Amino acid sequence: TLSAHDKELVAKTWTKIAPKAAQIGGEALGRLIAVFPQTKTYFSHFADLSASSPQIKAHGAKVLGAIGQAVSGIDNVSASLSKLSELHAYNLRVDPANFKLLAHTLLVTLSAYLGAEFTPEVHLAWDKFLALVATVLSEKYR
């Protein structure tokens, strides 16, 4: 679980990356489909499935928008993402294993954007936070 300090670090990082959130989301999603091509099946209705696809980038921007909401509601992520949890479970039927893959590509992307500011401590806080988001998005499956 996230300590008060972890939450502070996540919130602090978010204020730094928020202006570039759309770009970061686009890169994280582009990396997801490039590095874990099995994830492409969920986006087969997109015309372009290259890592630089405008649809993939636009979708990544939406994903980071939701991450921003989760950061704002970090004390009750379940409530913050409850609609999205239903969407991914009932409508999209995304295998929960994929949330871990996206968390991974998001961490890599954050590291690239933050450079030296992505300290082991910040890395840990985001790893815990994204694991929580993944749990929330999968909880309607159980």
Q: Which residues bind ligand HEM (CB under 6 A)?
A: 39, 42-43, 59, 62-63, 66-67, 84, 87-88, 92, 94, 98-99, 102, 133, 137
Q: How far is the CB of 22 from ligand HEM (least distance, A)?
A: 12
Q: How far is the CB of 33 from ligand HEM (least distance, A)?
A: 8
Q: How far is the CB of 63 from ligand HEM (least distance, A)?
A: 4
Which CB, 62 or 116, lies closer to ligand HEM?
62
Which CB, 29 or 116, lies closer to ligand HEM?
29
d(CA 49, CA 29): 10
Q: Residue 66 burial by CB count (10 A; 0-12/13-18/19+): exposed, middle or buried?
A: middle
Which CB, 36 or 116, lies closer to ligand HEM?
36
Which CB, 9 or 102, lies closer to ligand HEM?
102
